[in-house]
Amino acid sequence: MLAWLQIAAQQPKFQVVFADQSGFSLTPSVPYGWQAKGERVALPTARSQRESVFGLLTHHNQLATYCTDQKINSAFLIESIDKFVENQIDKVTLLILDNAPIHRSNAFKAAAQRWEAKGLLLWYLPTYSPHLNRIERLWLRMKYSWLKAADYVNRQTLQEALKRIFDQFGSRYTIQFKQEEVSSNST
Write down all domains in the chain, each with its CATH number in brackets: 3-27+44-168 (3.30.420.10)
Ramachandran assignment for 5, one of left (phi > 0), alpha (psi -120 to 50 degrees), beta (any other): alpha
Beta strands in 1-154 (DSSP E): 14-24, 51-58, 63-68, 92-97, 120-124
Q: What is the model's pLDDT at position 184? A: 37
For the question of whether the overall pTM of this predicted structure is more than 0.85, the answer is: no
Cα–Cα distance, 180 to 3 (Å, whole number): 8
Q: What is the model's pLDDT at position 185? A: 38
Element (H, E) at 76: helix 74-88
Q: Tens digits of per-residue pLDDT, 108-151?
A: 999 999 999 999 999 999 988 888 899 999 999 999 899 998 89
Phi, psi (degrees; rounded to nearest 5) at 17: -130, 130
What number of CA atoms fall less than 13 Å from residue 42's CA on the CB side? 4
Q: Which residues of the chain have pLDDT under 70?
A: 1-12, 28-34, 41-48, 178-187
Cα–Cα distance, 57 to 88 (Å, whole number): 12
Please state the length of the chain: 187
Query: DSSP letter string over 109-169?
Result: HHHHHHHHHTTEEEEEPPTT-GGG-HHHHHHHHIIIIIS-GGGGSSHHHHHHHHHHHHHHB
Cβ pair 173, 139 in contact under 8 A: no
Q: What is the model's pLDDT at position 13? A: 76
Q: What is the model's pLDDT at position 35? A: 72
Cα–Cα distance, 21 to 79 (Å, whole number): 14
Cβ–Cβ contacts within 10 Å for residue 160, how many? 12
Characterize 98-109 residue by residue with b for buried, 16 or more Cβ atoms within 10 angstroms of its Cβ, and e for exposed.
beeebbebeebe
